[in-house]
Amino acid sequence: LPPKVPGWLPIIGHLHQAVLSRSNLLKFVASLSESCEKLGGVAVFNFGSELYYLITNPQEAIIAGNSCINRHYAYDFCKTWLGHGLATATEETWRHRRKLLNPAFSLPVIHGFLDVFNSQAKKLINELEPHVGKGPFDHSLYMKNNAVETLCVGTFGIKAIEDVNFIKKYTEAVSEMVSILVSKFFKFWLQGNFICKLTGVQDREDSLVETMHNMSDKVIREKKQILKKEALNKTDKSEVATGIEYRPFLDLLLELSANGALTDKQIREELNTIIGTGFETTSSQLMFSLMLLGAHPEVQEKMYQELLTVLGPDRDVERDDLNKLVYTNAVIMETLRVLPTIPCMLRCVDKDVKLTNYTMQAGSYCLIFPMMTNIVSTWSTKTSEFSPERWLNGEFKNNQEFAAFGVGKRGCIGRTYAMIVLKVQLAHFIRRYRVKADMSQLKLNFDFVLKPESGHEIRIERGM
């Protein structure tokens, strides 16, 4: 076995440390990562009788990520909502679905979303206008709502959400569902059916799941009818008639499953998975980028100059601009490096897996977290680590060791979506406003996702 992290006790292993740290999971995971680093990048931890391999070494992380495909049972909490969608599926289902879904997340498809991304980015900055020059404010709710809305439009299509209540109701349901899942995960007494029912949490969860499922089902039904009509009358191309050149995920999934590859229920699972996995990740990452830019005026100025040169003062971002925004890309990569929203991957070890010096035993679990060390150093030194230039001078490369979007075969399918939506949001934001932030006040929270908990307020002033 690799070395144990300090603090092991007979029978309970390190369980006491986990229980004592339950109110501050980030601190706990960070301390595990520090111990693991000191012990050479691979270590073990016991949660009672459960054995966990901890991996911070990037090369070992790739081996583990490629060999351990099944996710930890903690993800089962999400199954009432996401079913056997891509994020929660077990290996066999996952292999089939991932192959089927990959084309829906390809670069040309995401390029088709640019109109949606541009209009959503402009909507966001217009909503923030009342805060100009008015001092610090909490921007998190604006970011979250905008991210869910963008994903809903990209997933269900414009027509489905022309009804403004649809988006509002769905957004609220998603946010509440995420907080219920998080409390179920951390409050062990809510994990038993009896107490969960007694406290009303179960009823609320069931009702939210029913709402979201009914809403998705309705859109799927309506879309199928539209597509049937279009097939009968080939000149009636409703989306094209509105001048919008994009294909929402729903259309793509219906097309990909035309020969019965996915049932309506499975399509619904995937649509909910896209929204569930995409919204907090993109909104938190955007918040982190704005805070880091706000704390580094010289970086913000350099990015602003690039945006002006490539896009001018207010033009939308087009497909050909994306590769020209080199410094903006480096800012996003550096934000992902120092504050990645998903720094840990928790997987099952189903068969013996050979690492360089150790073999992980079947029947155990592994916590893969090579990015955690960056958070720890950014967190303790606050901001001195942030330098987009590293991505331009070759110090860092966007290769398979860079784990912000996961490592191995089961990495993030939404990576291209995330990179492009962040670029478009920042391009509109930084050309309209000068942002200021104080990173020294930032307190981080970590449940399923790393996010700002307090001290994340920003100030915005009229442009440069």
**Binding site as annotated, residues for heme:** 412
Backbone angles phi, psi at 394, to 5 degrees: 90, 0
CA distance 184 to 327: 41
Give the nearest distance from C-beta 190 to ligand HEM in angstroms.
23
> Quick one: 61 or 303, whose CB is closer to ligand HEM?
61
Closest CB to ligand HEM among residues 139, 434: 139
Asked if 151 and 271 touch (Cβ cutoff 8 Å), the reply is no
Using the minimum distance from each CB to ligand HEM, give the nearer residue, 63 or 196. Answer: 63
Quote the tokens at residue 430.
């930084």
Residue 449 sits at φ, ψ, to 5 deg, of -130, 145
Q: How far is the CB of 412 from ligand HEM (least distance, A)?
A: 3
- For residues 401 and 438, which CB has a smaller minimum distance to ligand HEM in the complex? 401
Q: Which is nearer to ligand HEM, 157 or 414 (CB)?
A: 414
Question: Residues within the annotated binding site?
Answer: 412
Smallest separation, CB 142 to ligand HEM (Å):
17
The two tokens of residue 293 are 């830019």
Nearer to ligand HEM, 202 or 273 (CB): 273
In this structure, which amino acid lies at residue 30? A
Write the single-letter amino acid at 178: V
Smallest separation, CB 280 to ligand HEM (Å): 9
Closer Cβ to ligand HEM, 142 or 369, answer by number: 369
Angle between helices 140-156 and 114-128 (to 10 degrees): 160
Smallest gap from Cβ 260 to ligand HEM, in A, equals 22
Distance of closest approach, residue 33 Cβ to ligand HEM, in angstroms? 15
CB 152 to ligand HEM: min, Å:
11
Q: Which residue is nearest to ligand HEM (CB)?
A: 414
- Closer by beta carbon to ligand HEM, 18 or else 412: 412
CB of 290 to ligand HEM, least distance (A): 14
Q: Which residues bind ligand HEM (CB under 6 A)?
A: 86-87, 98, 273-274, 277-278, 281-282, 285, 340-342, 345, 404-406, 410-414, 417-418
